[in-house]
Chains A and B, each alone.
Chain A
Amino acid sequence: MTHVDGNAIGGLLNDVFGREATDASGLCSTCGAENFVGALLVYRAAGVVVRCPACGAVLMRFVEGHGQVWVELGGLLGSGLEPLREGRVHVVDGG
């Protein structure tokens, strides 16, 4: 299985941010490249890993389970995306 892109997780992003997110754009905190979320690379592993198309750095991570979602967003800067303040959405600090 290869990677896809941010379009493929549009539903998950809507679940986390409460709005359409693929047309948000942000900067990679590692290399500064700016991209639309729809253009970011998406890897499906045990969870979802979103990477910068320019340098491969991890920008976001998502784990879904028991109706909850754990999300790490530290790698994507300036997107304006705010996770919903709901009990089921847990924002974690970068590991």
Chain B
Amino acid sequence: MARTAVLGRLTWLVAAVTDTVTETPRVRTLILDVPALAGHRAGQHVDVRLTSEDGYQAERSYSIASAPGQPLALTVERLDDGEVSPYLVDDVVPGDKFELRGPIGGYFVWEPDGATEPIFLVAGGSGIVPLMAMLRQRRDAGSTVPAKLLYSSRTIEDVIYRDELQHIGADVVQTLTRAQPPGWQGYARRVDIQLLRDVAFPPEDNPRVFVCGPTSFVEAVAEGLVALGHRPGQIRTERFGGT
């Protein structure tokens, strides 16, 4: 482990599932025990590798949902045509094991320590996961850095961490793009420039922006923020693929 720290080189470690939390009908959090894993930074991810009996291997990346200092948690969304996610969301039980490599990432990371600029976090669907690690760490640290989250989901049932977000200590703005419950007070459309203008810190506040979600969502949001006057250098993006 000391050698890993010196070289910065990652190796495959064994992760054991200790607990699972159903977040939404399609999303589950796995709590893991990975004895050899070094501490992580909020925003980082791990690579997960599964091997079947016949030796077939599949590898995917999942963002770390937990704040540094908390038991390692990955939040996984089941993709309809997925090969790995259905297994992790539907089949895995405590005691199951798989391989894991990480933590990975040095660009899409944030920590409250020494932070002075406000943070504007924009999440599309499961893009909330690495941003939640940031918000959890900010809460745990008692940080007073101004923080806003704009979180786009399809329906209220798809909102991950719904209850916890109400107590996360940040300004949380939600939009539900497909259907809204009776009495819904949030936005009810896809994120567009007008919505960004209404919700984001103004460019003069020089916020650090983190955008995560499907590729097309991330690119539309980043372009919109630049069009509103935010400096590209202040915007960091993580694309999850998909549509």
Contact = CB atoms under 8 A, between A and B. Distances in A.
Direct contact of A and B (CB under 8 A): yes
Interface centre among A4, A18, A37 (most CB of B within 10 A): A4
Residues of B in contact with A, size category: 20 to 34
A7 interface: yes
A45 interface: no
Interface centre among A1, A8, A18, A19 (most CB of B within 10 A): A8
B8 A22 contact: no
Nearest to A23: B106
Contact of A18 (B9, B104, B237, B239): B9
B209 to A, nearest CB: 13
A23 B107 contact: yes
A5 B219 CA distance: 11
Contact of A8 (B8, B241, B243): B241
Nearest to B46: A11
B10 interface: yes
Interface string A1-39: 111111110110011001111110000000000001111
A85 to B, nearest CB: 13
B9 A20 contact: no
Contacts of A15: 10
A4 B106 contact: no
B107 A14 contact: no
B108 interface: yes
A20 B8 CA distance: 7
Contacts of A19: 7-9
B237 A11 contact: no
Contacts of B154: none
Contacts of B61: 8, 10-11
Given A5-B239, A10-B45, A22 B108 contact: yes
A10 B216 CA distance: 21
B105 A38 contact: yes
A6 B239 CA distance: 9
A4 B240 contact: yes
B215 A36 contact: no
A29 to B, nearest CB: 20
Contact of B105 (A10, A18, A39): A10
Interface of A: 1-8, 10-11, 14-15, 18-23, 36-39
Given A7-B108, A11-B47, A11-B61, 14 more contacts: A2-B215, A2-B216, A3-B215, A3-B241, A7-B45, A8-B239, A10-B104, A11-B104, A15-B10, A18-B8, A20-B105, A23-B106, A36-B236, A38-B105
Query: 8 tightest A-B contacts by CB?
Result: A38-B107, A23-B106, A10-B104, A19-B8, A22-B107, A11-B47, A20-B106, A23-B107
21 contacts: A1-B241, A2-B242, A2-B243, A3-B215, A3-B239, A4-B240, A4-B241, A6-B107, A7-B45, A7-B107, A7-B108, A8-B61, A10-B104, A15-B10, A19-B8, A21-B106, A22-B106, A22-B108, A38-B106, A38-B107, A39-B236
